[in-house]
Amino acid sequence: MRIKNLKVLIISILIPIIVGLLSAFFTGESMAQYNYFTKPSLSPPAIIFPIVWTVLYILMGISSYRIYISNKTGYRNALFIYALQLLFNFFWSIIFFNYSNYLFAFIWLIIMIILIVYMIFKFYKIDKVSAYLQIFYLLWSLFAAYLNFSVYLLN
What's the maximum distance between 2 C-alpha atoms anywhere in the chain? 49
Sign of CA dihedral 137, 135, 105, 40: negative
In a domain, 150, yes or no: yes
| Cα distance between residue 56 and residue 135, in whole Å | 10
In a domain, 44, yes or no: no
Choose among 138, 139, 120: nearest CA to 130: 120
| Cα distance between residue 25 and residue 12, in whole Å | 20
Percent of the chain with pLDDT over 70: 99
In a domain, 30, yes or no: no
In a domain, 86, yes or no: yes
In a domain, 88, yes or no: yes
Task: Give the tens place of pLDDT for each residue, 109-129.
Answer: 999 999 999 999 999 999 999
Q: pLDDT at residue 12 above 70?
A: yes
Task: Give the tens place of pLDDT for each residue, 24-55.
Answer: 999 988 888 888 889 999 999 989 999 999 99
149 and 105 Cβ atoms separated by less than 8 Å: no
This prediction's pTM: 0.95
Q: What is the extent of the structural domain holding 16? A: 6-25+50-154
At 153, the amino acid letter reads: L
| Cα distance between residue 112 and residue 83, in whole Å | 11
- As for how many domains the chain has, the answer is 1
In a domain, 101, yes or no: yes
- How many CA atoms lie less than 13 Å away from 68 in the CB half-sphere? 21
In a domain, 36, yes or no: no
In a domain, 129, yes or no: yes
